[in-house]
Chains A and B, each alone.
Chain A
Amino acid sequence: MQIVQQILFVLLAAAAVFLFARKVREIRRNIKLGKDAGINDNPSARWRNVLLLAFGQKKMFKRMTPAILHFFVYAGFVIINIEILEIILDGIFGTHRLFAPYLGGLYNILIGCFEILAALVLVSCAIFLVRRNILKLKRLNQGELNGWPKTDANAILITEIVLMALLLTMNAADYNLQQMNVHHYYNTGGPFWVSGLIAPLLSGMGEGGLVALERTCWWLHIAGIFAFLNYLPYSKHLHIVLAFPNAYYAKLVPQGKMDNMKDIQNEVLYMMEPDKAPTDAAAAEPHRFGAKDVNDLSWKNLMDAYSCTECGRCTAVCPANITGKKLSPRKIMMDTRDRMEEMGRNIDQNKEFVDDGKSLLHDYISTEELRACTTCNACVEACPVSIDPLSIILQLRRNLVMEESNAPQEWNMMFGNIENNMAPWKFSPDDRDKWAQELAEA
């Protein structure tokens, strides 16, 4: 009987890892649809960001309540994984609480700590559900979340609650079995800290019932974890993995710095100083100005999109969104991911991307949204996982203006004024120092 469980477990684990790895390759391919961004300078500053922003969750602490709750869930997730290691080894070798004999008294303390974390995760997730569905926090209930994103969020929270409840129930049943000196259930010495409180409720169940309960919880818990692992790549919850590389590749230069367009810089240079222009025609190959679709963006922009957990801190601080405009930085990221995945499916079907007549610009993100941005960087500053929605907005704007000549009339006038009068308003350049003359006369 034991060997059957072992074989089943190994098959399940192998399938979970295989499917997950396949999906990871797909995500990697999709991210690499983006252009090279050449981000590899200053590794020490980058590791510092990983420590502060990803491990330390520095930016989360701008909002205390969710920060503390989220920290419980995060710490619980990371630390309880140590126990998952034991569960996996038990599954493979058919053992039970493999580490217990080696760790002695420490084992109960460790499991006790895990249980406290599990309880904190459970409570935190319950509070998160309340904030989402009963208190209806604005940023967690805005239009772009209707449908799948809301379901996704709730599914994650409910899954975590169920997994933690299974873990605690399993331990409670286990303790009762230990008390009964049932073979295979190693006596770890004393009740666990949290499940010890519910253990007495199960004491009347009898050996058979308890073994069934313990086994069911053990299997559902580990199967749930494997399922969750494979759900991750389809979900906004992928941030638990990508927050780390995303912090590493975060922008290190001042937020106000916009990327230069070297090709246009050169074009202007060759226009002004024709002797510097290269003579070979190859240098003049046609290129796209700005971004029209996801493959015009950088791979960092695309990794940003996969890292987004749709928390809406960006949108909550966006001056355009606050004042009722259509722009939502979160939607920019969600659209980018949706379009990237659509492009990925297209490649899966056709071996290579076949034009589907769609693009990120217009089919997903409208001009009205793009034009509402004040480039204030509030969204960039607010993001706990170093996402830069502004970078995408500005690249799409470049395409709108330079390839489509699609600018509001007032902007076209402003361009004309800059070109002709060297100022965005229609003033004569001769009047530029009028204030100085006035000062001289005063």
Chain B
Amino acid sequence: MHIKTMAEFMAEGIQPEVLFWVGCAGSFDQRAQRITKAFAQILDKVGVSFAILGKEEMCTGDPARRSGNEFLFQMMAYNNIQLLNGYGIKKIVTACPHCFNIFKNEYPALGGEYEVIHHTTFINQLIADGKIIMKEGGAFKGKKITYHDSCYLGRANNIYEAPRAVLEAMDVELIEMKRCKTNGLCCGAGGAQMFKEDEPGNKRINIERTEEALATGATVIAANCPFCTTMLMDGVKNKEQEEHVQVLDIAEMVARSL
């Protein structure tokens, strides 16, 4: 399977339907690469015409902005917008809620206006359009699954139902955690916490969240964010439950159910 870059599309003189913005975690983090591959496979299988930016993609500047470094953020945003506008990008899909949030809410003020879709919403649309058809008795049918709302998809952008609809389409038994949807608890990675040690306290946030997820008795913790996935996996390992409980992105679950 060959994934074409925008440069290749440009050379052929055609526009893809959508740009798949992979994000730094999805590009470099070994665990998150599996999410990226799963989502690319779904797009390929369904026949969506999509491109990536390849080596040209850059950090959106989200961790810089959230930690207070507005200069660096503005630099990254300027360069990204030059690149995206240069290619005439209209529609972006991304598997990272942080990239999603910053494109959707913060780039427009800087001259970067795109239709931005999170991959769980995109997958849900493909299901609704009949383009994704899950196989009968799929890998997760009837399995106890709990779903972790990421802050940047949930509270930040009020997307709670699309990811759940995708899970429903896989016939899972969804068990909600007590803190879910608007009350969902953070995994601990947001606001550039991913890139530093916790401040002094008596517990790590991902442990608190993982304990809650494990208490549901679910065998899969479904996530929608590469950072949440990492945090929850660390939590599951810390609790020595990795033999019994998987942490999976919704795209990975769908890819396994096709």
- With A268-B74, A320-B205 as contacts: A432 and B192 at CB distance below 8 Å: no
Q: Does A440 reach chain B (CB closer than 8 Å)?
A: yes
Name the distance in Å between A160's Cβ and chain B's nearest Cβ: 30
Say yes or no: B58 contacts A256, CB within 8 Å: no
Q: Are A398 and B5 in contact (CB under 8 A)?
A: no
Question: Are B208 and A374 closer than 8 Å at their CB atoms?
Answer: no
Q: Is the CB of B55 within 8 A of A435?
A: no
Contact B208 A323 (CB under 8 A): yes
Q: Give the contacts of B51-109 with A (CB-CB under 8 A).
A: 52, 54-55, 57-59, 61, 63-72, 74-76, 78, 101, 104-106, 109
A401 x B67 contact (CB < 8 A) = yes
Surface stretch bound by B, among A123-131, A215-223, A416-424: A416-424
* A261 within 8 Å of B (CB atoms): yes
Option from B27, B68, B179, B200 in Cβ contact (under 8 Å) with A368 = B200
A411-B67, A424-B24 as given contacts; A418 in contact with B156, CB under 8 Å: no
Known: A324-B202, A423-B59, A425-B24. Contact between A257 and B37, CB under 8 A?
Answer: no
The answer to the question of A433 belonging to the interface, with a C-beta cut-off of 8 Å to chain B, is yes
Which residues of the partner chain A approach B156 to less than 8 Å between Cβ atoms? 254-257, 377
Question: Quick check: is B14 within 8 A (CB to CB) of the other chain?
Answer: no
Q: Which of B29, B58, B151 lies in contact with A377, CB distance below 8 A?
A: B151
A368 touches B199 (CB 8 A): yes
Most chain B beta-carbon neighbours within 10 Å: one of A255, A290, A323, A407: A323
Contact B205 A323 (CB under 8 A): yes
User: Which of B139-147, B163-171, B182-190 touches A?
Assistant: B182-190
Distance in Å: Cβ of B22 to nearest Cβ of chain A? 8
Contact with A along B159-181 (1 / 0, CB 8 A): 00000000000000000000100
Cβ of A154 within 8 Å of any chain B Cβ, yes or no, is no
| CB-based contact A374/B28 at 8 Å | no
With A319-B205, A323-B201 already in contact, the answer to whether A375 and B151 are too (CB < 8 A) is yes
Interface residues of A in 247-282 (CB under 8 A from B): 253-258, 260-261, 264-265, 267-269, 272
CB-contact partner of B199 in A267, A268, A325, A430, under 8 A = A325
From known contacts A319-B188, A374-B188, infer whether A254 and B105 are also in contact, taking CB-CB under 8 Å: yes
B241 contacts chain A at the CB level, 8 A cutoff: no
The residues of A that contact B54 with a CB separation of less than 8 Å are 432-433, 436
Asked if B244 is at the interface (CB within 8 A of a chain A CB), the reply is: no
**Which residue of A317, A373, A380 is within 8 Å of B191 (Cβ)?**
A373
The total of chain A residues at the interface (CB under 8 A) is 70
| Chain B hits for A427, CB < 8 A | 27-28
Q: Is B49 in the interface zone, CB < 8 Å from A? A: no
Q: Is the CB of B64 within 8 A of A418?
A: yes
A189 at the interface (CB under 8 A from B): no
Q: Which residue of B lies closest to A317 (CB)?
A: B183
A377 to B52, alpha carbons, bound, how many Å? Answer: 31
Q: For A423, what are the chain B residues with a Cβ–Cβ distance below 8 Å?
A: 24, 27-28, 58-59
**Is A330 among interface residues, defined by CB-CB distance under 8 A?**
no
B63 touches A260 (CB 8 A): no
Complex contact B205–A399 (CB within 8 A): no
Q: A319, A380, A431, A434: which has the most chain B beta carbons within 10 Å?
A: A319
A319 to B61 Cα, complex, angstroms: 24
The residue from A253, A407, A410, A422 contacting B68, defined by CB atoms under 8 A apart: A407
A:308-354 near B, CB below 8 Å: 317, 319-320, 322-327
Q: Does B239 contact A (CB under 8 A)?
A: no
In the complex, what distance in Å separates the CA atom of A393 from the CA atom of B86?
Answer: 35
Q: Are A432 and B72 in contact, CB atoms less than 8 angstroms apart?
A: no
Number of interface residues of B (CB under 8 A): 75
Contact assessment for A402 and B205 in the assembled complex, using a CB-CB cutoff below 8 Å: no
Bound: A325/B152 CA distance, A: 22
B193 adjacent to chain A (CB < 8 Å):
yes
B197, A410: Cβ atoms under 8 Å? yes
Partner of A424, one of B59, B75, B105, B207: B59
B201: which of A254, A320, A398, A411 is its contact (CB, 8 Å)? A320
Asked if B11 is at the interface of the complex by the 8 Å CB criterion, the answer is: no
Residues of A within 8 A of B109 (CB): 260, 265
A306 within 8 A of B: no
* Contact present for B205 and A398 (CB under 8 Å): no
Contact of A264 with B55 in the complex, beta carbons under 8 Å: no
CB-defined contacts of B186 to chain A, threshold 8 Å: 319, 374, 376, 378
Q: Does B158 contact A (CB under 8 A)?
A: yes
**Contact call B36/A435, Cβ cutoff below 8 A:** yes
Q: Which residues of A contact B65 (CB under 8 A)?
A: 258
Asked if A400 contacts B69 (CB within 8 A), the reply is no
Please indicate the chain B residues that have their CB under 8 angstroms from the CB of A324 in the complex.
200-203
Using Cβ atoms and an 8 Å threshold, which residues of chain A touch B204?
A: 323
**B40 contacts A by Cβ under 8 Å:** yes
A408 CB to nearest chain B CB (Å): 5
Would B106 and A374 count as touching, CB distance under 8 A? no
User: Once bound together, how far apart are the Cα atoms of A290 and B200, in whole Å?
Assistant: 25
Q: Given the complex of chains A and B, what is the CA–CA distance between A435 and B24 in angstroms?
A: 12
CB distance from B160 to the nearest CB of A (A): 12
- Across the interface, do B195 and A424 meet the contact criterion of CB distance under 8 Å? yes
> Given the complex, which residues of A lie within 8 Å of B61, measured CB to CB?
418
Shortest beta-carbon distance, A357 to chain B, in Å?
24
| B33: interface (CB < 8 Å) | yes
Cα(A193)–Cα(B194), bound, Å:
61
Tell yes or no: A285 within 8 A of B by CB: no
Q: Are A418 and B68 in contact (CB under 8 A)?
A: no
CB distance from A316 to the nearest CB of B (A): 11
Q: List 10 A-B contacts (CB under 8 A).
A: A254-B156, A319-B208, A377-B155, A381-B182, A400-B68, A408-B197, A411-B192, A419-B72, A425-B29, A435-B22
* A-B residue pairs, 6 tightest by C-beta: A256-B156, A401-B68, A375-B191, A324-B202, A324-B201, A397-B68
Given contacts A411-B196, A414-B195, A439-B1, 9 further A-B contacts (CB under 8 A): A256-B101, A290-B68, A320-B205, A323-B203, A371-B199, A381-B182, A408-B197, A418-B63, A433-B3
